[in-house]
Amino acid sequence: MKFGTKAIHAGVSPDPSTGAIMTPIFQTSTYVQKSPGDHYGYEYSRTHNPTRTALQQSIAALENGKHGICFSSGLGAIDSVVKLFNPGDEIISTNDLYGGTYRLFTKVFERYGIKFHFVSMADPEQLSTYVNEKTKMVWVETPTNPMMNIIDLEAMAAFTKKHGLLLAVDNTFASPYLQNPLDLGADIVMHSVTKYLGGHSDVVMGALVVNDDELASRLVFLQNACGATPGPQDCFLVLRGIKTLHLRMERHCQNGKTIAAYLKNHPKVEKVYWPGFEDHPNHLVAKRQMRDFGGMISFTLKGNSLDDAKKVMESFELFALAESLGGVESLCGHPATMTHASIPKAEREKVGLVDSLIRLSVGVEDAEDLKNDLANALSKI
């Protein structure tokens, strides 16, 4: 099936008991057994739930993967990935990543003896310096949050396979519509399902997709044993959201291109970070491994004034100042004080995350209205 057909049909089927075309919300905690251990495949809803099963199958299909595993949040999914490892193990991570991931790595797992290296991944071979017998995994975001850096996944997969490491990719910014890391050699794909997969800012969820049966078994064990599982109504909402993912992403990409071009030519804007520009450092890699360039954009203001950034964000009428991204409505955020506040200022600024940087999640509204909103807000400084 092509992507749009998979989004609507893969992993789901009419309910056999009623013929309902939509997967029912199985709002139950437990399941009656015919005899001890003799059941219909479901015992307890932390372990399995039919609504969740359908969603996991759908997300796996979208990523061209074999096993989908859903969690109560994106961080819950990442937490289970790191729990695959032991004290003393080491993980190499990109140095430009979501602040919540950085906080989980440094404030939680470093306490238990897992060591993290945060490095540039512009050239995978440069990571060799950090590889030793304790290294177990490379953690990648691409596009990165919020600097929109692009990491060459095929090259990174070749590197990790050469050194016997797992490659995990946070694919949240791209969504399965734009990029499929498993096809490029990754071992684990992570999504904050809250974002583009859900698409309507009404659910919090995470997911992992893998092909390897043994790896899937270990992650499913952690999903059940640690209990960070989503409820059936949230799973239903994401199943509904996925049915329009391809349609929404087309508009996100169209609007993203329009807004990025507008900002690049604005006299008060210093720099625009968007991989669709030909002068983006890894534009050709993005063009090769992504189907389009998405609706996530970051930009800085001339003068790098925090006060100016605040004035702009306080003046928006359509771009809502809020955490998160990937919904149908346009959002703006200030990474330095919001999503990435947990990263020390000196570390943020090393990768270009300065005080005036504003991150946009361009929604599916009319692009002219969004440009007018930007023009009005930028006129205030």
Q: Which residues are catalytic?
A: 46, 98, 170, 195
Q: Tokens for 112? A: 């238990």
**How far is residue 227's CA from residue 141's CA, in Å, rounded to a whole number?**
25
DSSP labels, 272-334 = EE-TTSTTSTTHHHHHHH-SS--SEEEEEETT--HHHHHHHHHH-SSSEE-S---SSS-EEE-
Residue 268's identity, in one-letter code, is K
**How far is residue 187's CA from residue 63's CA, in Å, rounded to a whole number?**
12
Q: Tokens for 18? A: 């009623």
Q: In b/e form, how buried is each residue of 90-106, taking b as 16+ CB within 10 angstroms? A: bbbbbbbbbbbbbebbb
Return the H-helix or E-strand segment holding 76. helix 74-82
Residue 284 Cα distances to 154, 196, 268, 270, 350, angstroms: 13, 24, 28, 23, 24
State the residue for tokens 């400084």: 381
**Which residues lie across from 141 on neighbouring strands?**
170
For helices 232-242 and 50-62, angle between their N-to-C axes, nearest 10 degrees: 30
Give the SS3 label for residue 221: helix
